[in-house]
Chains A and B, each alone.
Chain A
Amino acid sequence: MVESEKVVKGVKFGILSPEMIRKMSVTAVVTPEVYDENGIPIEGGVMDPRLGVIEPGQRCATCGNTLAQCPGHFGHLELAKPVIHIGFVRHIFMLLKATCHSCNRVKIPEDDVIKYRDLYRRLKDRWPQLANSLVEFIRQKASKALECPHCKARQFKIRLEKPATFIEEGGRGKLYPDVIKQWLSNIPSSDLEVLGLDPETARPEWMIINVLPIPPIAVRPSIVLETGMRAEDDLTHKLVDIIRANEKLKEALNSGAPEIIVEDLWDLLQYHVMTYIDNELPGIPVAKRRSGMPLKTLSQRLKGKEGRFRGNLSGKRVDYSARTVISPDPNLDINEVGVPYEVAMTLTVPEYVTPWNIDKMREYVLNGPYKWPGANYVIDPAGRRLDLRYVKDLKALAESLKPGYIIERHLVNGDIVLFNRQPSLHKMSIMAHRVRVLPGKTFRLHLAVCPPYNADFDGDEMNLHVPQTVEARAEAEELLLVEEHILTPRYGGPIIGGIQDYISGGYLLTLKSTLLTKDQVSDLLATIDYSGEIPEPAIMSPVEAWTGKQIFSLLIPEDFNFIGETRLSSGNLKCTSEECFWDTLLIVKKGKVLAGVIDKTVIGSQQPKSLMHYLISEKGVRFGADFMNKAFKLFLRYIEMVGFTMTLDDIKPDEKALEEAEKVIKDSYSEVHKLIEMFRTGQLEPVPGRTLSETLEIRILDVLARARDDAGSASIRYMSLMNPTYIMARTGARGGNLNITQMSVVLGQQSVRGERIWRGFRGRVLPHFKYGDLSPEARGFVQSSFYKGLSPLEVFFHSAGGREGLVDTAVRTSQSGYMQRRLINALQDLYVEYDMSVRSSYGELVQFRYGEDSVNPKKTAFGKAVDIERIIVKNIGWRMSL
């Protein structure tokens, strides 16, 4: 069969005319009966066999095709009286208001109609938005006319009574659908054009239904329950309702029943047709199933997240995917993902048999579907699919393999897969990993890739997809591989980098006091597969000893220079020169760490302008990934060697520290009481723009916050520099001074909506306080620490504050999700042209130069295209200003 190739130039939507509905109908539906007593569909019912095949093997009564080929066919139902299509109520309302009730012309003088029509035609193609506003203007102008400019008839006010009743005030009263249909069909096509309708495809009288299309059975299949009972689709139920109502109305009309009865039945038909189209209309009862479940009618199939558009067209369920819980594995590469055997034996990759891989392929087939690495299917050159589960003689099949066969083999080490964690808010939420098949039931990933996915291991699950074509695999490897995303376009720094123990480990390793024996050095270097010379020991006698800095330096290229202050360089440990004693200024010259320690600002994730950042941006992402793999393993090995834990004793406050802290708090309390006294006697000076009581609250909050910080730093001063908790806070590995303060000294003020706790209470928060008590303890200041333990009242305040945190994360996620959807819809098809302009797919200019400077932020340091400071340090290893 020769088929001519056709190109779709466009898609146009219109309204089905009654003639069109009858023309495309294969049968008129005439009876509400569906099946006869034998369970055979009745001809002329809603399950009429001419509407399409339902059971496999059957041939269609209309087109003769089987289930797979028959597209289904429409039928139609002639309504006894017309009803309003609920989806067009607003259009009908507009038309009734804009046209004359007597001559049915648009209420605009003839000359103007011609003038507007010409203008509209000129605007339509080039300025669709302007054409729309012209139409809106014409509609409004026409609706305002009190007298018809054509027939001079006085105009009545038209009122819409929701959902679909039109009242002509002072005229005929209620306008019945048949009257409206008559009115609308009298509007000349030339008038419709200026009202923004296309009379060719959308005559307004078609908005009133007198012939209802009956959709094919394929869109409303009935299902057979285990009990053998037949359950019909909601749409079928609704159609039966409509037909029944229609029959009753027809009978009433034929028997000349009183008008009231006819009107009631007509309203019932209108109700059924309305809910058939949309069952979530405001102001009318929803149609329900016998079980009380609201029926899912046409509109409900399309709308919302699970609807046809968002659920089946924008987003689909896919094959070759897996989902399970994630857990950490520091022994993987950052580019890898650990995949359980079970998953690897279910997901497959189609591979062509070639002369070069035929031996390997035979092995896979021989292993079969139950032994890894095997294969699940073999596809022969004729396209026949062999399920290896049912192949008796795998050996014979393996022998018969020839180039041209396709083997759907198990996932093996090194395969490229896509890995994803919701919510997929940025491009780093889907990255390509290399497979590492492992025992266990979870996906495993390197800890350094937690930040881009925002993953932790408290039960998080992630998805995995297997690309099925070479093109897809190549694309994934080149564009999506984890290492390509180490640097983020958000600020140019590494989003993948050191976290938690990597930072603590790096710090401990590079401490000035860390000296390593030859055994230790060998152990450390073995973990990173080091194969070069061991450097000259830093200390020769009495025993040879190496510094941690020396070991770390082995990973840094010889030509790399870096100078940067670390996080520890603050307060009395601040370093401003290379000769500084405190070792808090990191100096790397010619690839050797000369001074300074490693902390978050050196190797941390999300730290731009760090050593890690410049290593990656200057030596490439491949080097960067390798550096991370090795450095992180090194740090972990060292932290394992020395041991690093946190105990309750670490946060036990020092006796003297506690005394100091208590004094600070006591002083702040008396200051607060002084403020309250001033407030009561009217001596308090209000802050501009605030009331007196707001001022008091601000001042109190301020005093108490300061008290907590002072108490905290007083106690932190007494902490040992080798206290693990304190090390983690200092290096930025986990927690900060605030967390230490709260654990060991004072929890501080609890707040709801940024205020001390009083919202939602009258006069006092709990009956333990006097009315109007403004003192710190009555409004949620928690003087205890987690170490000491909270009093019952303090627990109450703490949970009130904690609840707020939970509530606004819940609220924030839904809001940001909605914003995300809208942004993506607006931006998804924009692209940067070769001239660096940003354009839409319609060729509209969005930006004349990308970002105004056409700089890719991923390749910058914090958005700056040229970083002079860095160029100097990079080349001469020395910086002018510190």
Chain B
Amino acid sequence: MKIPNAMLIICYKNNYSRLGYSLSSKRVRVEEKILEHELVPKHELLTKEEAIRVLRELGVRPEQLPWIRASDPVAKLLNAKPGDIIRVIRKSPTAGTSIAYRFVVVG
């Protein structure tokens, strides 16, 4: 079996050498998997039409939404560019699910 990327979680003593692994050889790429993580809510990139509709509904200019950096790992994965709007759908302890929007900014 070929495993391209892996994250190693070891409990108790971190005696890597005994396990025969060298972890320093290659940085483990976990970023591509973050969207699957339980604690990362669902993110969606809005289309232009959707974005305009959402902004009209909320009655705000885009920069009045909370911001997210284009360099944010999730924004990068969605290929979001500054000026885009991302919808975040998250589980909420009070409301079941809740929807929020983020405006993508440079950085």
Contacts and interface: CB of A to CB of B under 8 A. Distances in A.
A852 B64 contact: no
Interface of A: 126-127, 130, 133, 688, 835, 837, 842-846, 848-849, 851-853, 855, 863
B63 A853 contact: no
Interface string B93-107: 011001111000111
Nearest to B92: A852
Contacts of B59: 835
26 contacts: A126-B63, A127-B63, A127-B105, A130-B107, A133-B107, A688-B12, A835-B59, A837-B58, A842-B64, A844-B65, A844-B66, A845-B58, A845-B60, A845-B64, A845-B65, A846-B66, A848-B100, A848-B101, A849-B95, A849-B98, A852-B92, A852-B98, A853-B95, A853-B98, A855-B94, A863-B94
Nearest to B99: A848
Interface string B63-75: 1111000000000
A846 B101 CA distance: 10
Contact of B98 (A126, A835, A848, A855): A848
Contacts of B107: 130, 133
Interface residues of B, number: 19
Contacts of B99: 848
Nearest to B95: A853
Main secondary structure of the interface of A (DSSP, over half): loop
Given A127-B105, A835-B58, 4 more contacts: A126-B63, A848-B58, A852-B98, A853-B95
A845 B92 contact: no
Interface string B29-70: 000000000000000000000000000001111011110000
Interface centre among B12, B64, B99 (most CB of A within 10 A): B64
In order of increasing CB-CB distance, the 7 nearest A-B pairs are A853-B95, A852-B98, A853-B94, A852-B92, A852-B95, A844-B64, A848-B100
Contacts of A843: 60-61, 64
Contacts of B94: 851-853, 855, 863
A688 B12 CA distance: 8
Nearest to B63: A126
Nearest to B94: A853
Contacts of A863: 94
B66 A845 contact: yes
Nearest to A133: B107
Nearest to B91: A852
B58 A130 contact: no
A863 B92 CA distance: 13
Nearest to B103: A845
Contacts of B100: 848
Interface centre among A835, A844, A846, A863 (most CB of B within 10 A): A844
A705 B27 CA distance: 48
Nearest to B12: A688
B3 to A, nearest CB: 29
Contacts of B106: 130
Nearest to A857: B94
Contacts of B64: 842-845
A344 to B, nearest CB: 47
Contacts of B98: 848-849, 852-853
Contacts of B58: 835, 837, 845, 848
Nearest to B88: A848
Contacts of A846: 66
Contacts of A837: 58
Contacts of A844: 60, 64-66
A43 B93 CA distance: 74
A835 B65 CA distance: 15
Contacts of A848: 58, 98-101
Contacts of A127: 63, 105
Contacts of A130: 105-107
A720 B91 CA distance: 52
Contacts of B105: 127, 130
B62 to A, nearest CB: 10
Interface in B13-40: none
